[in-house]
Structure 1
Amino acid sequence: MKATDLMGIENPLSAGASFLRQDRNLTTDQALAPGQNKRGWVESPLFDLSLFTLSPLAGLLVIVPVLAWPRGMRVFIAATYLIAIPHYVSSFSFYLGDENLAYYRTRRLAFFVGPVLIFIGVMALRLTKMDAAVQSGLYVWNVFHVSMQSAGILSIYRRLHAGSLSESRFARASLLGVNGSLAFLHIDRFPPIYQNLLRIHFPVWAMEAGFLAVAVFGLVFYLDTLRRRAKPMRAPELAFLVSSLLLFHPYLWVRDLDLATFGMLIGHFLQYLGIVWLLNRRKYATREGSEHQRLLSSISTKTPLLLFTLVSVGAVFYLAQKSSAWLGVPISYVILWNSLALVHFYLDGLVWAFKNPFVRKSIGPYLTPQSHMVV
């Protein structure tokens, strides 16, 4: 998810007839349940705490079994196919919406050619044994991508709590600085990057120092802007901010960087699945439009079908992995897996780019309905 702040979203009440209709749907479908105050929460206390704020703890359910149990890798594998891969594939759900697809067709180079070029690039690098380039790109882009998603969800809370747009750049800098500092704290344990830095005589310590400087700078100015808010930060936003700053905690205590990265990503995966599902459930609450949009509506509004879809996606990739190994071409699955991750990073930079007026109008009102605004 892109990190650009949501304060620039137009009020749906002033955005024309189509958005008046959307706002009516939101206020009807998302009305507060009797006795339950959802103001300040993206969806509800239970939903937000489970899938956003406390999701980083889910990584422990993967890390601990792997470290403590001889068969713990089975948990790792299950999480890969049931959580990680559905998370990456969910980016393509945006193509199923009629409004989105019509817009994407006006930018064919970005939304259709770009992913193909990434796949070709990964295939070329892997087949020519330039594995370090792919692995390094995944590691670095992953830090940026996760940081921007955290900042993006934080911006939703900021919008719901009437925070200032001026906070956004410092929030992004804080999260990127803290996360980068933790991810590169023991970069010597990640040979694809470390060995190449040594080869070009780059001072490794400079990277850590740079991230720390960004973290300190960002946090100082971010806290200063928060101090000058008209209203103090409330519990939902504060809790998610703390959670985001602690998301990369596995890098502090897990020696294996691959396991630390995956443990960290479990929280990120759950957050992304949660925000995409919530967006689609609100936006496509009524089955209408093309066949593919009605399919998206059904999946998003029917939890059993959603779970079946997630499991099915994981099963397809599991069979693809086994088939490639059986056929003696395991590299084909590696190329597919790496390409999927990089295309996900790339597409997220487009579909969540709130600087784009289309994105603001087609996504924003569904994530910050008036019924959830703090008054």
Structure 2
Amino acid sequence: MAPSSVLPSAPIAPPEPVPLSPVPAPARARSAFIVGPLYDGLFFIFSPLLALALGLLVSPWHKNGDTLSFFGSPVSFISLASASFIHAHLFAVFFRSHGNRDVYQRFRWRFTVIPLGIFLGLVVSPWLLMFSTIVNTVWDVYHSSMQNFGLGRIYDMKRGANPEVGRSLDIWMSHVLYIGPILSSSVTLAAHLDSFKELNRVGSHLFDVVPLWGSKYQWMLAGGALGAGVTYTAYYIFSYVRLARRGVPISTQKVLLYASTALVSLLGWGFNSFGEGFLIVNFFHALQYFAIVWWAEQDNLPRLFRVEGRRWARPSALLLFLLVPLLYGVLLGFGSNYLAPKGLELSVCMALVNTVAMMHFWYDGFVWSVRKKAVPAT
């Protein structure tokens, strides 16, 4: 998609699409926050700093051994908890896509036929199954960067900004903040590129050269990412100063979100601080997602869980909203390799996990779109 102009002149307003569904109003009229100062501070803006503190806290425990028995197999408790939470947040998208009647009706085919077709294809073809693992690894990095972008655009919307102005600037800034440190770190880059060896499980060494190439030329990638990142950051600040001078509203909340993300992404991915880079970055990403889904769907979830009208309807819905995805994360997201024997059962479990991940990455591109009015301002 061609990047939009940073300073558009007299754009012709496109026809407004019908909003997907109403979402809860902000805590106060015309608030610059999505929910409120405390909620946003804990779960959105400064959640990266909370994740950094968590990484510092658990690092000694992880290094000294935190092994437990998981269905007869020794596993790390922190790895189990982290992986389960990550897979749980992937599952949580279905409370927005399938649990919200308005959203479901608008995109019914995307929510039924396509995931079923992908799942069956992955079950039937081991090649597609292994290749989907590679696709999900790459897509996950891009998607995580775009979640940061999406939260920033919601904050801009709350300030009354045109969703087209600064869009490309924010997209590339999010990539600099999230993807740049991955390219700069030999540890995290190697961990991501190792997924290309998944094809070995079906007898192919087609992409074995990718991890080797990444290791050999990582110093070039690091230098390029650092130089490009510093240069683009300067250009980004310069461009937004120009926009501000022309009267474009700038969200303080977005600035703080980007600043905290930059710091933690650099320390987590770039330097693998405390040896817990994956835990740190993935934890705040998943925490942000659970928080945004609960905020948007808290009125729908009591109906979905059939507790509507009861005394403790909302707390019960919140408990189930957290419990159901976490059970999926533990039993399938983390536990499929331990619970399912080799063969068809394992293939089915892996196909389901990979399908859920792909649908999460894809659905998020349109069920939270500010441009498409998926997240109304009020």
TM-score where L is the length of structure 1: 0.71
Map 1:201-350 to 2 at 5 A. Answer: 207-208=221-222, 211-212=225-226, 215-216=229-230, 218-228=232-242, 229=244, 230=247, 233=250, 235-248=252-265, 249-254=267-272, 260-281=277-298, 284=300, 292=304, 302-320=314-332, 325-326=338-339, 328-329=341-342, 330-350=346-366
Q: 1 or 2, which has the higher helix percentage?
A: 1
Which of 102, 125, 143 is matched with 1:145 structurally? 143
Map 1:86-105 to 2 at 5 A. Answer: 86-93=88-95, 94-105=97-108
Match of 2:86 in 1: 84
Conserved? CA contact 1:167–1:222, under 8 Å? no
Offset at residue 195 of structure 1 (A):
4.0
Deviation readout 1:162-197 (Å, 9 max, x if unpaired): 445422211110111232221122224543459432
Match of 1:160 in 2: 158
Match of 1:373 in 2: none
Distance in 2 (alpha carbons) for counterparts of 1:338 and 1:69: 32
Match of 2:170 in 1: 171
Distance in 2 (alpha carbons) for counterparts of 1:326 and 1:335: 15
Match of 1:74 in 2: 77
Match status 1:47 vs 2:39: yes
- Tell which deviates more after alignment, 269-278 or 228-237: 228-237
Distance in 1 (alpha carbons) for counterparts of 2:49 and 2:16: 40
SS at match of 1:275: helix
SS at match of 1:184: helix
Conserved? CA contact 1:49–1:55, under 8 Å? yes
- Tell which deviates more after alignment, 192-201 or 152-161: 192-201
Q: Amino acid of the residue matched to residue 49 of structure 2?
A: L
Conserved? CA contact 2:51–2:284, under 8 Å? yes
Offset at residue 53 of structure 1 (A):
1.6
Unaligned runs of 5+ residues in structure 2 are 5-10, 68-75, 197-206
Q: Amino acid of the residue matched to residue 105 of structure 2?
A: A
Offset at residue 255 of structure 1 (A):
8.1
Distance in 2 (alpha carbons) for counterparts of 1:297 and 1:121: 42
Match of 2:181 in 1: 182
SS at match of 1:57: helix
Q: Percent identity?
A: 19
Conserved? CA contact 1:197–1:204, under 8 Å? no
Offset at residue 140 of structure 1 (A):
1.7
Distance in 1 (alpha carbons) for counterparts of 2:212 and 2:103: 45
Distance in 2 (alpha carbons) for counterparts of 1:296 and 1:221: 51
Distance in 1 (alpha carbons) for counterparts of 2:121 and 2:273: 31
Offset at residue 307 of structure 1 (A):
2.0
TM-score where L is the length of structure 2: 0.71
SS at match of 1:302: helix
Unaligned runs of 5+ residues in structure 1 are 370-375
Deviation readout 1:86-111 (Å, 9 max, x if unpaired): 31111111212221222123xx1x33
Distance in 2 (alpha carbons) for counterparts of 1:114 and 1:346: 11
Q: Amino acid of the residue matched to residue 221 of structure 1?
A: Y
Offset at residue 296 of structure 1 (A):
8.9
Conserved? CA contact 1:53–1:239, under 8 Å? yes
Aligned residues: 329
Q: Structure 2 vs 1, CA of residues 161 and 129 (structure 1 numbering), >3 Å: closer, same or farther?
A: closer
Q: Structure 2 vs 1, CA of residues 208 and 130 (structure 1 numbering), >3 Å: closer, same or farther?
A: farther
Match status 1:364 vs 2:369: no
Distance in 1 (alpha carbons) for counterparts of 2:271 and 2:335: 33
Distance in 1 (alpha carbons) for counterparts of 2:336 and 2:194: 29
Deviation readout 1:292-319 (Å, 9 max, x if unpaired): 4977999x97134312332233225534
Map 1:48-67 to 2 at 5 A. Answer: 48-60=40-52, 61-62=54-55, 64=59, 67=62
SS at match of 1:328: coil
SS at match of 1:364: coil
RMSD value, Cα: 4.1
